Amino acid sequence: MKVKLQVVERINLLSILPREGNFIDLKVVRELREDLSFMDEEHSRLQFKYPWKCPKCGFVTQVVSAQLSYVQCPDCGSGMENTGQITWNGELAEIVDIEFSNRGFTIVSEVLEKLNSEKKLQEIHFNLYETFCVAKEEKSTEEK
- Give me the number of domains the chain comprises: 2
pLDDT, position 136: 65
pLDDT, position 115: 97
pLDDT, position 123: 95
Inter-residue contact 59 to 43 (CB < 8 Å) = no
Residues 69 and 102 in one domain: no
Is 44 within the bounds of a domain? no
Q: Exposure of 128 by Cβ count < 10 A (0-12 exposed, 13-18 middle, 19+ buried)? A: buried
pLDDT, position 71: 85
Residues 102 and 33 in one domain: yes
Contacts 24+ apart (CB under 8 A), 127-131: 127/6, 127/9, 128/9, 128/12, 128/13, 131/3, 131/5, 131/9
pLDDT digit of tens for each residue in the chain (144 aa)? 999 999 999 999 999 999 999 999 999 999 999 999 999 889 889 999 989 999 999 999 988 876 677 789 999 999 999 898 899 999 999 999 999 999 999 999 999 999 999 999 999 999 999 999 996 666 555 665
pLDDT, position 69: 74
Phi, psi of 16 (to 5 degrees): -110, -5
Is 71 within the bounds of a domain? yes
SS (H, E, C) 47-98: CCEEEEECCCCCCEEEECCCCCCCCECCCCCCECEECCCCECCHHHCCCEEE
Residue-range definition of the domain harbouring residue 75: 49-87
Residues 54 and 79 in one domain: yes
pLDDT, position 77: 92
pLDDT, position 67: 67
pLDDT, position 144: 55
pLDDT, position 117: 97
Residues 28 and 58 in one domain: no
pLDDT, position 66: 63
C-beta atoms surrounding 29 within 10 Å: 20
